[in-house]
Amino acid sequence: NAGVTQTPKFQVLKTGQSMTLQCAQDMNHEYMSWYRQDPGMGLRLIHYSVGAGITDQGEVPNGYNVSRSTTEDFPLRLLSAAPSQTSVYFCASSYSQLSNQPQHFGDGTRLSIL
């Protein structure tokens, strides 16, 4: 069972570069989301999607774009990387957007921006 797969696992960027973090799930989940994890701050929601073609902003969306062209994939794009975006990024999915659904997490992408 693959679950939620994130690539790459590690990445180093220079300030101003752009890149896309990939996220794919094979559980036919409707709801997908992106979080960033920073020490002492827990996880903060960046963007989420309740289904293909539908996305919305979370708590910290600035500097990030997302799209959801298929149910399986939910890539996160950094438009112009900044040192403040150095973090660990997690993608998560759940069967639906209903509040009682636990989320399944990928193993994360560790991103450093110099």
> Which residues of the shown chain bind other proteins in the complex (CB under 8 A)?
4, 31, 33, 35, 40-45, 48, 50, 58-59, 90, 92, 97-100, 102-108
Give whichever of 85 and 94 is closer to other proteins, judged by the CB atom: 94
Shortest Å, Cβ 50 to other proteins? 6
Cα 103 from Cα 25, distance rounded (Å)? 12
- Using alpha carbons only, how large is the chain's radius of gyration in Å? 13
Give whichever of 28 and 40 is closer to other proteins, judged by the CB atom: 40
Task: Give residue 100's identity as a one-letter amino acid code.
Answer: N
Give whichever of 22 and 103 is closer to other proteins, judged by the CB atom: 103
Shortest Å, Cβ 61 to other proteins? 12
28: left (phi over 0), alpha (psi -120 to 50) or beta: left
Shortest Å, Cβ 57 to other proteins? 10
Q: Which two tokens stand for residue 67?
A: 């799209």
Give whichever of 48 and 74 is closer to other proteins, judged by the CB atom: 48
For 73, which DSSP code?
B
Shortest Å, Cβ 81 to other proteins? 22
| Helix (H/G/I), strand (E/B), else coil: 85 | helix
Cα 87 from Cα 89, distance rounded (Å)? 6
